Structure 1
Amino acid sequence: MIRGVRGATTISSNTADEIFAATEELFEKMIKENHIQPDTVASVFISTTEDITAAFPAKALRNFAGWTYVPVMCMREIPVENSLKLCIRVMLHMNTSLTQEEIHHVYLNGAKVLRPDLDANTAV
């Protein structure tokens, strides 16, 4: 079964260092919380709000051992009025025997407001 694992975070300024640090933190937590192995990942989509232009967040995933050949794509989030600014969102597709209820979605920093129905950092 292929399941999606969602995650999101925010940065405070549009710099490459902040983009990479926040994205690495997000992926580290998503990987740990869901026991993700790179060879089980089908693809990763990363979207950013229009105000993030200093770097591709996908480059941060390449700092993790074993993730070299995982397909990753960056894209622009649709610009909805009054939406969260400086936000990086992730949709990771993985092969797993986990149920939907067992997947832990991760929302960090200002992105916690996107899913107030979930625990601040993870949810079941």
Structure 2
Amino acid sequence: MFARGIRGATTVEHNEEQEILSATSELLHAIIAANDCRPEDISYVFITVTQDLTATFPARAIRTMSGWELVPLMCALEVPVENSLPKCIRLMVQVNTTKSQSEINHIYLKAAQALRPDIVNLTNPQ
């Protein structure tokens, strides 16, 4: 088993609680489906948001998912880099897996696909 990081990002249209929670849940579900993970395989999930997302903690979406109650979660603000992608939620999921680094599927949804166009078509399930 190896500890591997799985990256993911998505965006929302509005700084609204339900939209942030739904987008976070959608992103995590896509990550775990693409990488065949279970909550017991996860060491932690680190979540960041851009400074324009203040309506809720995105970790709330994960905390309410069945089986994820004991997975450590942490939310933080992104570094406010000029001209960065607005209304963006990023996840770093540390998973214990037998997959090699090249077998990990990083997931970028919605406008966040622009963050890593070099890997979007390689790793996102169609």
Asked if these proteins are the same fold (TM beyond 0.5), I'd say yes
**Amino acid corresponding to residue 105 of structure 1 in structure 2:** H
The alignment's TM-score, normalised by the length of structure 2, stands at 0.94
Gaps of 5+ in 2: none
Q: After the TM superposition, list the runs of 4 or more consecutive aligned residues in structure 1 that deviate by more than 3 angstroms.
A: none
Separation in 1, partners of 2:106, 2:124: 6
Separation in 1, partners of 2:121, 2:15: 24
SS of alignment partner, residue 119 of structure 1: helix
What residue is the counterpart of 2:123 in the other structure? 122
Task: Quote the sequence identity (%).
Answer: 48
Does the CA-based 8 Å contact 2:10-2:90 persist in structure 1?
Answer: yes
Deviations 1:30-70 (CA, angstroms, capped at 9, x unpaired): 01000111111111100000000000001111232110000
Separation in 2, partners of 1:64, 1:122: 24
Separation in 2, partners of 1:86, 1:121: 24
Separation in 2, partners of 1:13, 1:105: 24
What residue is the counterpart of 2:16 in the other structure? 15
Separation in 2, partners of 1:12, 1:39: 32
Matches within 5 A, 1:43-54: 43-54=44-55
SS of alignment partner, residue 13 of structure 1: coil
Separation in 2, partners of 1:56, 1:122: 27
The alignment's TM-score, normalised by the length of structure 1, stands at 0.95
1:91 matched to 2:96? The reply is: no
